[in-house]
Amino acid sequence: MKAAHRTLLLASSSSNSLPRPHSLSLDSFSEMGSASTSCVVAVTTLLLLLLALGASGQLQVGFYSKSCPSAESTVASVVRGFSDSDSAILPALLRLQFHDCFVRGCDASVLIKGGNNNAEVDNAKHQGLRGLDVIDSAKAQLESQCPGVVSCADIVVLAARDAVAFTGGPSFDVPTGRRDGKVSNVRDGDVLPDVHDSAQVLRSKFAASGLDDKDLVLLSSAHTVGTTACFFMQDRLYKYPLPGGGVGSDPSIPAGFLAELKSRCAPGDFNTRVPLDRGSERLFDTSILRNIRNGYAVIASDAALYNDTSTVDVVDSYSGLLSTIFGPYFRQDFAESMVKMGSIGVVTGTNGEVRKLCGKFN
């Protein structure tokens, strides 16, 4: 490696740079001992917390340490209890946070149950959303312990954090102190990223929420666990617009993989579920990014990440030749993006409320 290339300047705010928030010499990786590595992690965590506090007003780690000391452990216990009987609930809780935070911010607006199909949750883009009963159960326990203290919006974020850890992902702190929003409209859900969106559209939607290309790749890598319904693959398998006219299968899908997907999802089959991370759907790892890089992405929005110059380098940094350098940071980087997503458009203080029931306004 030439001397001019030995030092990589890595900034998370730059969509075209490799994803680390430090300036590191490649030589330094071989010289770092466990103590210095811990120091780097500690400093990064501190910087992350300071950024979160600056961007999110009154949010802070341990917000309920005095007002409701058992808040976080209660949520974790409820999530664990549900997952013991239904392991699929864990990736569903992760998806629930994504769907809440991308619409009006992390304000629990997606939890409001409408009576006339006019609530946010009634939007078709929330189809198949699960985990609302987990949040309701945690809320009921917390109301018996600390009435009127813990918001539904915080429960959503805490439950997603715990779901990540329970699937083998990283354990990390999240700042709390959110309040619940007072608005929930069905059309608000239209802004959600869609499985059919191009990389450019996905980048635009993430940018509108203050998230960059690195966050897009990292949060999409949450597909390392969980499944998707064949409904979301029908167009890619059978109705994909072909260059010469007509429709067929997405030509970017390798022939063997295409046959595999078609064998699982017949035309018109909307309900069968298929693992999002081929061969590693139960383990939180970087396999999903390797699959994306090798053409084995199950859904179109994942495949799009390797067809755009702004995201391909990020995918490669965790799954390609540079993965020996940056791969070990994947879990920490994922946690940072989760915290960042959890800070989108939060409502704090007197600007919101703490609902008594998560499914209805006070």
Annotated active-site positions, please? 99
Is there a contact between 186 and 119 (Cβ–Cβ < 8 Å)? yes
Residues 131, 159: contact at Cβ < 8 Å?
Answer: yes
How many other CB atoms are found less than 10 A from the CB of residue 84?
A: 10
β-strand partners of 253: none
CB burial of residue 205 (10 Å; 0-12, 13-18, 19+): middle
Listed in sequence order, the residues at least 6 apart from 122 whose beta carbon sits closer than 8 Å to its beta carbon are: 114, 186
Residues of 95-117 as b/e, b for ≥16 C-beta within 10 angstroms?
A: bbbbbbbbbbbbbbbbbbeeeee
What's the rounded Cα separation, in Å, for the pair 314 and 183? 36
